[in-house]
C-alpha cells in the first residue's frame, strides 16, 4: 500500500509540493510517451502509470485550489478525482482487487455500471468516496469522517446504504433500484459530506 505523503500546511510548503507533483506529472508523461513507442506493451504497467498520473492531477488541482481559493479550481479537482475513480472501476472489473493472494475479487459489469452512474450523478459539491470491490461482485463506496461512516454498495442494479455504519445508530436502506431514473435518493445525498471548501493561502 503506497500512500501519498500528507499534505503540508503552509503556502510555501504547498508551492514546493506543487512543484514536485508537477515535475512527477511531466516525467510520467514522458515515460508514457516512450512506452507507447515500444512493443510489446506492458499493459498493466502502463495502466498503473496512467492511474498515478490521474491521482497526481487530482492532487495538483487540490493544492491549486488551496492556494487560490478559486471555486473553479475546486470543481476541476472534482472532475479529475472522478476520472481516477472511473478508471479504478474499470480496473476492478478487468483485474479485480483483493488484499489476499487467494482471491481475485472482480466486480460485475452491472455493478460497475451502477457505481459509475452513481459517481457521475453525484453533484460537484459533494465529496467523492473511497472505493473497493466487496469481494462478491459489488462495489463498496465509503465516506469516512467525524466518526460517522456512510457505506453505499453498488450491487448489480441496486444500491444498499448503511448510515452511521458500524455504530449503534446505524440505519439501513436496502435494495434501492438505480437502473432506471438514476437519481440518488435524497437520504443518501444528504448524508454525503460536502466537498472541502478551498481555503485561501
**Contacting residues toward another protein, per CB under 8 A:** 1-4, 44-45, 47-48, 51-52, 55, 81, 84-85, 88, 91, 95, 97-103, 105, 129-136, 138, 140, 142, 149, 151, 153, 155, 160-162, 165-175
CA triple 27-70-12, angle to 5 deg: 55
For residues 12 and 23, which CB has a smaller minimum distance to another protein in the complex? Answer: 23
Cβ atoms of 107 and 93 closer than 8 Å: yes
Based on CB atoms, which residue is closest to another protein, 98 or 200? Answer: 98
Closer CB to another protein, residue 54 or residue 198? Answer: 54
> C-beta of 77: minimal distance to another protein in Å?
13
Q: Shortest approach of another protein to residue 104 CB, angstroms?
A: 8
Q: What sign does the dihedral 57-62-5-147 (CA atoms) show?
A: negative
Give the per-residue SS3 of 167-189: CCCCEEEEEEECCCCCCCCHHHH
- Say how far apart CA 190 and CA 186 lie, in whole Å: 6
Q: Which CB sits closer to another protein, 15 or 51?
A: 51
Amino acid at each position: 500500500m503506497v500512500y501519498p505523503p500528507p499534505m503540508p500546511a503552509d503556502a510555501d510548503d504547498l508551492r514546493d509540493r506543487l512543484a514536485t507533483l508537477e515535475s512527477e506529472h511531466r516525467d510520467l508523461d514522458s515515460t508514457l510517451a516512450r512506452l507507447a513507442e515500444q512493443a510489446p506493451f506492458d499493459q498493466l504497467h502502463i495502466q498503473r502509470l496512467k492511474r498515478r498520473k490521474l491521482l497526481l492531477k487530482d492532487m495538483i488541482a487540490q493544492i491549486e485550489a488551496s492556494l487560490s481559493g478559486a471555486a473553479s479550481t475546486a470543481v476541476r479537482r472534482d472532475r479529475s478525482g472522478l476520472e481516477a475513480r472511473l478508471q479504478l472501476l474499470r480496473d476492478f472489473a478487468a483485474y479485480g482487487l483483493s488484499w489476499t493472494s487467494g482471491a481475485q475479487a472482480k466486480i460485475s459489469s452491472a455493478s460497475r455500471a451502477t457505481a459509475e452512474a452513481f459517481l457521475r450523478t453525484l453533484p460537484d459539491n459533494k465529496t467523492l468516496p473511497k472505493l473497493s470491490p466487496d469481494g462478491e461482485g459489488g462495489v463498496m463506496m465509503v465516506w469516512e469522517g467525524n466518526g460517522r461512516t456512510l457505506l453505499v454498495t453498488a450491487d448489480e442494479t441496486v444500491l444498499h446504504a448503511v448510515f452511521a455504519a458500524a455504530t449503534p445508530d446505524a440505519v439501513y436502506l436496502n435494495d434501492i433500484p438505480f437502473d432506471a431514473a438514476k437519481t440518488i435518493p435524497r437520504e443518501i445525498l444528504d448524508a454525503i459530506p460536502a466537498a472541502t471548501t478551498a481555503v485561501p493561502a
